[in-house]
């Protein structure tokens, strides 16, 4: 019924990386590509995340950079303590070069006005 072509992991990564490396990309296209990427059953490779962050820098959208990092952290699921530090370690040179802070460095990982749990007060 349907003729489907199988894309290897390397081809998949290269496709998204080349998409984010386009010089004429705009903010909507970055958001769309990240939505498509994060709807897959995977955590994006660090090189794809770096390309996406550089694309955000080209369109001068710092908020989108932080949102991408938050989305990647959420995508790690219950293995966030294993996967997310590795991702941050791998993309740290890109973060430093572009001057991007992680959500944790900005304090966005903790609720600002959260009330103390009434069951843990005493």
The total of structural domains in the chain comes to: 1
| Structural domain contains residue 83 | yes
**pLDDT at position 2:** 60
Vertex 13: Cα angle to 16 and 90 (nearest 5): 100
Residue ranges, the chain, pLDDT below 50: none
**pLDDT at position 111:** 77
| Structural domain contains residue 43 | yes
For the chain, the 3-state helix, strand and coil shares in percent, each to the nearest 5, are: 65, 0, 35
Query: SS in 3 state form for 53-69?
Result: HHHHHHCCCHHHHHHHH
Q: Which domain holds residue 73?
A: 9-120
Give the integer Cα–Cα distance in Å for 100 and 108. Answer: 14
- Look up the CATH number of the domain holding residue 61: 1.25.40.40
| Structural domain contains residue 1 | no
Other CB atoms within 10 A of residue 57 CB: 17
Q: What is the DSSP letter of 122?
A: -
Count Cα neighbours of 75 within 13 Å in the Cβ-side half-sphere: 20
């Amino acid at each position: 019924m349907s003729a489907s072509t199988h894309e290897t992991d390397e081809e998949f990564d290269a496709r998204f990386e080349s998409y984010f490396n386009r010089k004429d990309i705009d903010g909507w296209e970055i958001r769309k590509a990240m939505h498509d990427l994060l709807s897959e059953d995977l955590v994006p490779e660090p090189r794809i995340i770096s390309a996406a962050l550089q694309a955000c820098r080209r369109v001068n959208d710092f908020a989108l950079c932080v949102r991408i990092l938050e989305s990647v952290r959420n995508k790690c699921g219950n293995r966030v303590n294993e996967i997310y530090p590795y991702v941050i370690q791998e993309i740290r040179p890109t973060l430093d070069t572009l001057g991007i802070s992680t959500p944790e460095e900005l304090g966005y990982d903790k609720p600002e006005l959260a009330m103390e749990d009434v069951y843990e007060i005493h």
